Amino acid sequence: MLRKILAGLAALAVPLIAVAASPAEAALPPGKITFFAGQTTPDLTAYKQQVLDRDAAFPRPGGVTLYTNISPNSCNGLTVTCNLNGNVFNFNQTLAEYPGAAVAVGLYLADNPGCVNQPLRAILNRNDADIAGALGQQYRQNLDNLLTYFKNTGRQVYLRVGYEFDGPWNCYNTDFYKQAFRVVKQRITTLGATNIKTVWQSASYAKDGDPQYKFDFSNPNHLADWYPGDDVVDYVGLSTFYWDATYRQYQWACDTPTSTPTVLYDRVLNFARAHSKPAMIAESTPQAYRTANLDASCVTVNNRVSLGGDWTKVGSWYDQYFAYINRNTDVLRAVSYINSNWEAISQFSCPPGATAGSPNCTDGYWGNSRIQDNAAILANFKRELQNSIFVNGTLTGRGANWGGGTPTNPPTTPPTTPPTTPPTTPPASGRDAFATIEAESRNAQSGTTVTAGRLSSLNNGDWARYDGLAFGGRTPNQVVFRYSSARPTTQAFTLEFRAGSATGPVIAAPGLLGTGSVTAYKEIAFNVSNVPAGTTSITVVARANDSADILDLDWFRFS
């Protein structure tokens, strides 16, 4: 996630190079997933020397990840080394070190500081005063130079156009971004660069930015607002830095997220399915953990705490990561892992006690994600990549043991869409509390009705009970739910989650606001406490200070 570091990058005069292509790089194979390693040239050199060169049996990555841009008057790292705040890129060097590998390219199009979208407007050839004449023409020429360079590499290139388009840190204007994406695709076509595929990558971030600018991840229709069109998007991408079972324990312990990670990730993959597009996890890393030191921190404040020498507490992140990949092989065709010691990069330095956004901690705390810095993580990572779902993998199933017991193999054919209709007769036992519970699948109720697949028109004191929710040996941190309300967006009410009956102990009581319409949904994640272990009943109760309709409830689940 190179947020602001590439603001000064620009295209140089580009001597074109030709590298022999491999038949394996023609496309991401159907039913297989290509593993990409990233994300700077030194990171990739170290990965080659310290992992691949030392172990001939370690699966070779099918691709590498690097970054560039088209802004004038600075370097772009294509043919000579470019160092921006400690982030070093040299495409020629990396391509030589990884012959035949595909390339996933993060094309930075923001212009922090300022957020005036100059690169996007220049691509659109607008007649704005700040880009009129030579400057605007230089942007457009740099774009063509960049595309021609990638065309002449002979590699399969996955161009992440304005990656993490919805990240508030990028300040992209929605309309400018969509229009510029279309122009980039048009230039690829005009230049005959058939080896370049476009990737439309969401930040899939756990906290909303300003909804006025559509940085509203909790909005279920968020992605549609940013989509430039089926005719110009080849791959749908996402970033995955956090996982449900652990993100509140360390990474988000000192902040309040507005969405649960897997809710966001599932939304992106389901969007890809709905548009018949393959998907790519374009960025992934266990942010705020350190594999060498075995400690962890919050992402917005460097408050590192020791993990007591227990590598499996970091391993849990990887276990969830690979489990998610295995569950979504129907749509995922590539995953890119950032194997970086972030603390060695000045851009990401953040001393103990520093807070994100301060001069000495501009991008928050990142830690060290290098797998070679911990022997147990390295061995398990190797076994995961040996899984035959990956290109270059030859073994059956996951096989790795991240400390939670021997994993079970996933179904060979995962469902292409999540279930949308509950059983006719809700089961009285054995429902996974961590899976989506459709609100209409209640076992008992008072005052509720079902309308269009949701529990509707709950009034003060109305309740619905859900029996047989199995928590097993896991302790949930949050309850996640989707609701709507015709009440004004300034009017508050409460939705209680109780253990057992409608008068049982309260485990969560989020205060909510109206959404203005029963068709305007919001997803909320709220902390829970004192959830009974094993299998239990959970009852939801609506509370307000009047007798009018309060809310409709679509679904909930624990995480």
C-alpha dist (Å) from residue 337 to 66, 242, 414, 480 = 12, 13, 23, 27
Per DSSP, the residues of 328-365 read: TTTTEEEEEEE--BGGGSGGG---TT-BTTBTTBTT--
105: closest CA among 240, 207, 235?
A: 235
Residue 25 a catalytic site member: no
Question: H or E element: which one contains 508?
Answer: strand 506-508
Q: CB within 8 A of 54, min separation 6: which ones? A: none
3-class SS of residue 372: helix
Of 25, 283, 343, 384, catalytic: 283
Rounded CA gap, 220 and 482, in Å? 9
Give exposure, 261-273, as e/b (b: 16+ Cβ within 10 Å).
bbbbbbbbbbbbb
Bridge-based pairing of strands 289-290 and 295-296 is: antiparallel
Q: How is 101-164 classified by DSSP, letter by letter?
A: -EEEEEEE----SS---HHHHHHTT---GGGTTHHHHHHHHHHHHHHHHHHHH-S-EEEEETSS
Catalytic residue among 25, 164, 384, 523: 164
Those residues whose C-beta lies under 8 Å from the C-beta of residue 204, and which sit 6 or more positions away, are: 217, 238, 239, 240, 261, 264, 265, 267, 268
The pair of three-digit structure tokens given for residue 40, joined into one six-digit string? 């700077």
Q: 3-state DSSP call for residue 47?
A: helix
Rounded to 10 degrees, the C-alpha dihedral 37/201/334/414 comes to 140
Rounded to an integer, what distance in angstroms lies between the CA atom of residue 543 and that of residue 530?
A: 21
Residues 477, 245: Cα–Cα separation, whole Å: 8
CA–CA distance, 179 with 173 (Å, rounded to integer): 10
Catalytic residues: 164, 283
